[in-house]
Amino acid sequence: MGTFRRLLGFLRPYRRLWAISFVLALLAVGVTVVSPALIGHGIDRIRDGDEGGLQQVAIAIALLGLGRLGLTVGRRLVAGRVSLGVEQDLRERLYGHLQVLDMGFFDRWQTGQLMSRATVDLSAVRFFLGYGLVFVVQSLLTVVLAAIAMTIQQPLLTLACLLPAPLIVWVGHAYGVRGRPAQQDAQQAVAEVTAAAEESISGIRVVKAFAAEERREAAFSSAVDHAFDKQLRAVRIDASFQPVVQFLPQISLAIVLLVGGRMVVSDTITVGQFTAFFVYVLMLVQPLRSLGVMLGLGQRATASGARLFQVLDREPAIVAPPADRLRTLPADAPGRALGAIEFDDVTLRYPEQDTPALQDVSVRIAAGERVAIVGQTGSGKTALVQLLPRLYDPVAGRVLIDGVDVRDLDPTALRHEIAIIDDDPFLFTASVAENIAYAAPGASREEIEQAARRARADGFVRELPDGYDTVVGERGLTLSGGQRQRLAIARALLAGPERAAADGATSTRGPRILVLDDATSNVDASTEQEITTGLREVMRGRTTLVIAHRLSTVLLADRVVVLHHGRVADVGTHAELVERSELYREIVTYGMADQVFLTREERPTEVQEA
């Protein structure tokens, strides 16, 4: 019930519209309920041979019909407006909330679960709030008013012919609860078939290369079978619902005929009154059925609402500090380097993971320093750099930037100062220029091109069909891994607040800390050479952390941090480490020579034998 009341809260901005649609519904109900009585009245005029009276009744019925038409159109327009408004509000609330939630939340929730909340659940709620609720009220009123009108005339007959009414409501309700979901399940299953087909086609290279056609086909046909079953179930429910709902009123009609007919014969009621009853019964079928269906839908909307609130009620774990703790990063000053980092005894545990990804990590990095982070796959390299922009918070210890605990900074301001480029940079479906300017929407074309030149991207961009206006990304031109990385580096260069350059005359942009996570891991050696040249320039004047899989990248760094199973194994210059760290020598020899992803355990002697 709590959920239902909260859902009603979404109607608050539309109180007026909702009231209008309610009043329109009420008037329509009034008109509807009067009609059968008028028809009965007309029939008695026939009996009396009263032509003038008959004409009046006919005109009245036509006018009422017209009035009802207008009222219904009006109500549907207004209710549609409310429904769409509620949908829009809900979508924006949900989307906005998803944007502020932390990475830990997204680790735990599957994309599919979130998508189904954003689609199926959302539409269940908005349909019920927009249309369903008015319908429930309208149907209920129709039934009650008609029952009153009928009872006034013939209590006994009314009781007799309304006997099957609860049954109709009940069947409708069952349909609302089960029929609709069955249809949605069926739709979902069909969507899964589409997804399976799509995956087979996009993954066709792998499928063919591993001769897995048969397995794929088996998987696909099981998806098809599943969809078939779900659809069949929906058809079954549908197949019995309509006929049953049509059958029940027949019972009422039979009762009216039997009981009412006798009353006419014995002159207790007129033929007109008898007809009015007959029409009432016919007229009540639809509202009774709607009432049931809508109550069922209401029940589902409440369940959907509860699922929406599960997401909406989730508090973001990473938030701005309270105002009294809020600090800002020290600003630029001539001659002062920015971007000092200190990991102070940091332990990080991902949600629902037993072993910490990082354990008691302490590393100090001076402003402007270039540090390479090396370690085997899973040693915590990515985990470490994700702490800087607070994608995750450590469970113990502190992360300081220029002496300020990152938790005392406004997260937005903090993130403007750190750019992370990972090994698989995401490009949005937009032009190259827009993708580069993603972190700085106000950037001029000149700034964009300059950033591209510094990232060594300008050359290939100019060769694209539309140069900087070429649309790339999911639905655009596909770029190679190396090209995407260079765009990502250009993007990073534009991130961050505008600040005066060292000479004080020109302004530059760019975050004070740049992180390259495997950023050159999937490009060929010559491209890497180019990027490396670009990197040298990019690294100037800012602190850079490079998670390196190649010796050439490591050699760009002043110092190297070696991670092992979430702990710092050693820190030093390349030369020092080669000298004293066996682990480092191993990583350099086996893990880097040709950037293989060998783990320490898997680095076996049979490689040499082979």
Binding site for ligand ADP (CB under 6 A): 107, 350, 353, 357, 375, 377-383
Q: Which is nearer to ligand ADP, 294 or 563 (CB)?
A: 563
Q: Which is nearer to ligand ADP, 382 or 520 (CB)?
A: 382
Give 335's DSSP letter.
T
Residues 202-238, buried b or exposed e (16+ Cβ, 10 A)? eeeeebeeeeeeeebeeeeeebbebbeebbebbeebe
Q: Which is nearer to ligand ADP, 373 or 487 (CB)?
A: 373
Q: Which is nearer to ligand ADP, 179 or 380 (CB)?
A: 380
Sequence letter at residue 205: R
* CA 284 – CA 267 distance, rounded (Å): 26
Minimal CA–CA distance to 432: which of 465, 406, 410?
Answer: 465
Q: Which is nearer to Mg ion, 95 or 597 (CB)?
A: 597
The interface region with Mg ion, picked from 56-64, 260-268, 375-383, 525-533 by CB under 5 A, is 375-383
* CA 380 – CA 370 distance, rounded (Å): 19
Q: How far is the CB of 377 from ligand ADP (least distance, A)?
A: 4
Name the residue with the smallest CB distance to Mg ion.
382
Residue 534 touches which of ligand ADP, Mg ion, none (Cβ within 5-8 Å per kind):
none
* CA 539 – CA 514 distance, rounded (Å): 8
325 to 364: interface string for Mg ion, x by CB under 5 A: ----------------------------------------
- C-alpha distance from residue 525 to each of 20, 147, 406, 531 (Å): 70, 85, 37, 10
Q: How far is the CB of 536 from ligand ADP (least distance, A)?
A: 24
Q: Which is nearer to ligand ADP, 377 or 552 (CB)?
A: 377
Q: How far is the CB of 86 from Mg ion (least distance, A)?
A: 43
Residue 233 touches which of ligand ADP, Mg ion, none (Cβ within 5-8 Å per kind):
none
Q: How far is the CB of 103 from ligand ADP (least distance, A)?
A: 7
The interface region with Mg ion, picked from 27-35, 127-135, 380-388, 427-435 by CB under 5 A, is 380-388
Residue 380 touches which of Mg ion, ligand ADP, none (Cβ within 5-8 Å per kind):
ligand ADP
Alpha helices in 322-410 (DSSP H): 381-386
User: Which pair of tokens denotes residue 7?
Assistant: 């859902």
* CA 587 – CA 577 distance, rounded (Å): 11
Q: Which is nearer to ligand ADP, 378 or 476 (CB)?
A: 378
Q: Which residue has the tokens 């001539």?
A: 334
- C-alpha distance from residue 536 to each of 31, 61, 140, 490, 542 (Å): 81, 87, 75, 13, 11
- What sign has the CA pseudo-torsion 69, 71, 75, 78? positive
Instruction: Label residue 409 exposed, middle or buried (CB < 10 Å: 0-12, 13-18, 19+).
Output: buried
Residue 107 touches which of Mg ion, ligand ADP, none (Cβ within 5-8 Å per kind):
ligand ADP
Backbone angles phi, psi at 41, to 5 degrees: -60, -45
Q: Which is nearer to ligand ADP, 288 or 373 (CB)?
A: 373
* CA 581 – CA 104 distance, rounded (Å): 35
Q: Which is nearer to ligand ADP, 105 or 460 (CB)?
A: 105
* CA 370 – CA 528 distance, rounded (Å): 18
Q: Which is nearer to ligand ADP, 338 or 385 (CB)?
A: 385
- C-alpha distance from residue 151 to each of 41, 137, 161, 177 (Å): 17, 21, 11, 32
Residue 164 touches which of ligand ADP, Mg ion, none (Cβ within 5-8 Å per kind):
none
The interface region with Mg ion, picked from 245-253, 258-266, 377-385, 497-505 by CB under 5 A, is 377-385
The interface region with Mg ion, picked from 101-109, 251-259, 260-268, 379-387 by CB under 5 A, is 379-387
Percent helix, strand and coil across the chain, each rounded to 5?
65, 10, 25
Q: How far is the CB of 420 from Mg ion (least distance, A)?
A: 11
* CA 275 – CA 279 distance, rounded (Å): 6
Q: Which is nearer to ligand ADP, 107 or 225 (CB)?
A: 107
Q: How far is the CB of 516 from ligand ADP (least distance, A)?
A: 12
Q: How far is the CB of 412 from ligand ADP (least distance, A)?
A: 22
- C-alpha distance from residue 211 to each of 199, 204, 207, 217 (Å): 16, 10, 6, 11
CB contact set of 40 (below 8 Å; sequence gap of 6+) = 270, 272, 273, 274, 275, 276, 277, 279
Strand ranges across the sheet with 341-348:
358-365, 341-348, 396-401, 404-405
Report the alpha-carbon angle 318-324-327, nearest 5. 65
Q: Which is nearer to ligand ADP, 360 or 408 (CB)?
A: 360
Q: Which is nearer to ligand ADP, 350 or 438 (CB)?
A: 350
Q: Which is nearer to ligand ADP, 454 or 564 (CB)?
A: 564
Q: How far is the CB of 375 from ligand ADP (least distance, A)?
A: 5
Q: How far is the CB of 94 from ligand ADP (least distance, A)?
A: 22
Q: How far is the CB of 386 from ligand ADP (least distance, A)?
A: 8
Q: How far is the CB of 360 from ligand ADP (least distance, A)?
A: 15
Q: How far is the CB of 331 from Mg ion (least distance, A)?
A: 32
Size of the site for Mg ion (CB under 5 A): 1
Cβ-contact 532, 552 below 8 angstroms: yes
Position 379 contacts Mg ion (CB under 5 A): no
Q: How far is the CB of 355 from ligand ADP (least distance, A)?
A: 7
Cβ of 437: how many Cβ atoms within 10 Å? 23
Backbone angles phi, psi at 328, to 5 degrees: -120, 160
Residue among 83, 376, 379, 382 that touches Mg ion (CB under 5 A):
382
> Footprint of Mg ion on this chain (CB under 5 A)?
382
